Amino acid sequence: MGQKVKFVFSAILCLTSFLIGMSSASYAQTPAWSQWGQNAQHTGDVATSGQPLQAKLADLVYDPFVQQEIAESGALLMHYQAALVNAPYIFMEFKTGVYTPCDPPGSGKPFPCGPDAWSGEIWNETALQWQNGNLVQAWNFASDWKPVPNSGSSPSKKSLGGWEPLFQPALSGSHIYVPGTGGTIYQLNQSNGSVVAQINPFGTVDPSKVVFGPLTADAAGNIYYNVVQVHLDWPWDQDAVNAWLVKVASNGTVTMTTYAALLPGAPAECLGTFGGAPFPWPPSRNAVPHKTPCGMQRAGLNVAPVISGDGSTLYTASRGHLWGRGAYLVAVNTADLSLQWATSLQKLLDDGCDVLLPHNGQPGGCRLGSKTGVDPTQNTRGGGIMEDEASASPVVAPDGSILLGVNTAYNYGRGHLLKFSAKGQLQANYDFGWDSTPAIFPHDGTYSVVLKDNHYDNGSYCNDPKWCPKALRGPYYVTQLDSNLVPEWHYKDPSTNKNHPDGFEWCVNAPAVDANGVVYGNNEDGYLYAIQQGGTKVQRIFLDKTINAGYTPVSLGSDGTIYAENSGHLIAIGKVSAAGATKGK
């Protein structure tokens, strides 16, 4: 798994990095979009205005395997990189290598095939540049990073369900940092893609140590990321071997800590669910479910660490490797990666039985006599679940609070957006937020929060059609909340057809907001939307495909060009010049 490492990080390479950085100072300006969520706080907002959605300025295929991926899984179960922008370059993941289809598609045979063979693919980081109105390749770097296996060495009971993990570099100074094999990261020169260093915190290279989630770069030039060591043969059926939070300082110094050291009091056993008990749940008013192994604490698979506004604190979301309900929001001192505090995401909510759910005794509701507000799957206050199939990362708001989208088990496949104080106290929550890194719109001395707000056609807390009949599909909103997570406005997807009478799902997992508060997000109707404040004036432009558009972010350039993604395509959107030609660099 991965290529042989040619060199490791050293003091000589640190000096080389410094010298190349000095010679590339022209590319060290503040990037327009430097990482997941735009900046180290992941707020997804920029100080420039987006261009009108007049035309596709460029359309490039970055995932050539989309049709095969859809054939295997029935949908495009991908999490794709947010395009990074630092003029004159746009940086994007491009996949090459070999895709091994199953025969027939979706059968899983002959094993390994489909998502169980994604190690045959290559994740490249490509720099693009505008030339004569066209977006062309400036350089390409083929990383040896591989995602953690979907299943392992043979089909097992547990897997990622075909959800491909996120490959997400970050820009800092004149460099771009790219995930590599064995828990390493590559430091590349932005101007030509040359390798400055392969930074290896572990000395040797062990492919079982996998970079989990996006890299995060702070204002001081430090890079933070997560590494998890798994049993490659059985990554989800066996506990993790170890898990680390890594800091690479701007001078090349590496600091590490383990999640076990950050969370020494995390329990070995977690509260399970009433699996096997007859519906409706809870089985009785005072029923208690069995215990289940939590597994080692480690970062969520696609979680990007987030940095406080003053740079002193890092926040991350941790979970038990074997049980996503054993989850925590963790605050760490950036200076030495020591623990500030950890807040359990369990037993925080009181909006289950007889609140978000139908009345007790009714279809979709809890058993008659159940306590008000409890999660029927555990008969306790509801808690946040860190799902590895999600791509939500924490966000630091302008007031220093932390926003985190989590799944919850009892609200029709939706989740909750949780707001915590800088000390870890829950301050507010909003019903839905789980696979969304929300964006922030700062205005008038306060701020608003923007996220997708989908209503799914799922059962309330179980899949039994008798006790938990499916909800109606939709409506689907982009919702703006105030700083207390109270809705300010909703915008409903306007597209309908016979299979989607109440609209299509918003598939943007990290929206963008410009200086005027215009919200940019893509929808499974195939369109990119620009929604002005209030949700009443809207532009849209068709991208490429409907339904299987993928779960993707939006980025903005310093000139207001919008970089959207749809069905494995990177599509640049903007205005048309007076002569009728598309605008380029």
pLDDT along the chain (585 residues), means of 10: 34 37 52 98 98 98 97 95 98 98 96 96 98 97 98 89 97 98 98 98 97 98 98 96 97 96 97 96 98 98 98 98 98 98 98 98 98 98 97 98 97 97 98 93 98 96 96 96 98 93 95 98 97 97 92 97 98 77 44
Q: What is the pLDDT of residues 75-113, one digit of tens each?
A: 999 999 999 999 999 999 999 999 999 999 999 999 999
Where in the sequence is the domain holding 368, given as residue range(s)?
11-574
pLDDT at position 485 is 98
CB atoms within 10 A of CB 515: 16
Burial class (CB in 10 A: 0-12, 13-18, 19+), 466: exposed
Distance between CA 242 and CA 521 in Å, rounded?
A: 37
**585 domain-assigned:** no
How many CA atoms, within 13 angstroms, populate the side-chain half-sphere of residue 88? 15
At 577, list the tokens: 């010049």
Q: Give SS3 for 55.
A: strand
| Contact assessment for residue 114 and residue 101, using Cβ atoms and an 8 Å cutoff | yes
Secondary structure (3-state) at 134:
strand
Residue 445's contacts (CB-CB under 8 Å, 6 or more residues apart) are none
Distance between CA 270 and CA 216 in Å, rounded?
30
pLDDT in tens, 240-272: 999 999 999 999 999 999 999 999 999 999 999
Cα 328 from chain centroid (whole Å): 17
Q: What is the distance between the alpha carbons of residues 70 and 478, in angstroms, rounded to a whole number?
A: 26
How many CB atoms are closer than 10 A to CB 549?
Answer: 28
CA 283 – CA 453 distance, rounded (Å) = 31
- In degrees and rounded to multiples of 5, residue 201 shows phi and psi of -70, -15
Q: Which pairing describes strands 508-510 and 552-553: parallel, antiparallel, or unpaired?
A: parallel
Given this model, what pLDDT does residue 153 score? 92
The verdict on residue 467 lying in a domain is: yes
Q: Are 473 and 500 in contact (CB under 8 A)?
A: yes
CA distance 288 to 272: 9
Q: What 8-state DSSP symbol labels residue 80?
A: -
In a domain? residue 227 = yes
In a domain, 580, yes or no: no
Amino acid sitting at position 457? D
Q: Cα(461)–Cα(457) distance, rounded to whole angstroms?
A: 12
Q: Is residue 297 part of a domain?
A: yes
Which amino acid is located at 143 in the chain? S
Are 576 and 583 spatial neighbours (Cβ–Cβ below 8 Å)? yes
Please report whether residue 161 resides in a domain: yes
Q: What is the pLDDT of residue 28?
A: 55
Q: Which of 435, 386, 382 is nearest to 550 (CA)?
A: 435
- Judge whether 322 lies within some domain: yes
Per-residue HEC secondary structure of 104-119 comes to CCCCCCCCCCHHHHHH
Query: What is the predicted pLDDT for the residue at 509?
Result: 96
**How distant is the alpha carbon of residue 241 from its chain centre?**
23
CATH code of the domain in which 361 resides: 2.130.10.10
Task: State the Cα–Cα distance between residues 79 and 435, nearest whole angstrom.
Answer: 11
Cβ proximity of 254 and 199 under 8 Å: yes
Contact, 330 vs 305, CB < 8 A?
A: no
Residue labelled with tokens 């590494």: 227
* Domains: count for the chain: 1
Instruction: Give me the pLDDT at residue 108, please.
Output: 94
Cβ 410 vs Cβ 281: under 8 Å: no
Instruction: Flag whether 6 is in a domain.
Output: no
What integer pLDDT is reported at residue 11 of this predicted model?
Answer: 33
